[in-house]
Amino acid sequence: MSVQKINSPDRPQAPMYSHAVKIPGLIFCSGQTPMDSTGNVVPGDIKAHTAQCLSNLTDVLNAAGSSWDKVVKVNIYLKSMGDFAAMNEVYIKLLPDPKPARTCIQAGGLPHDVDVEIEAIAAV
């Protein structure tokens, strides 16, 4: 089985992981936090941060040759479930219908103390 490691040219590179890994038929996207292209957390609330995470995942999906229309599963990690409704507002607005399968949990801690991280699995 071929395994291809993918890094988006639009996202900061990380020495400890690839942005995505592509195997025949599937793309596994690493979690994206609300960081801009220079590696800084974007200003704003959970809505702005959710939008940035989804934009970052769009960059990764594009680099891997996929798109949101082919996403089959999304995992969302929130710092606080108190942000669930506000995150959902943005998620519902930005993702195409029909929505993929999804899990959303409260995480004990996220990198850079951000309030949200989102990862995805897509078909090729």
| Whether 104 is catalytic | yes
The full length of the chain comes to 124
Determine the Cα angle at 122 with ends 116 and 124, to 5°.
150
- Tell me which of 21, 86, 104, 110 is the catalytic residue: 104
User: What tokens were used for 6?
Assistant: 């993918």
Task: Quickly tell me which residue has 């025949």 as its tokens.
Answer: 24
d(CA 82, CA 110): 16
Catalytic residues: 104
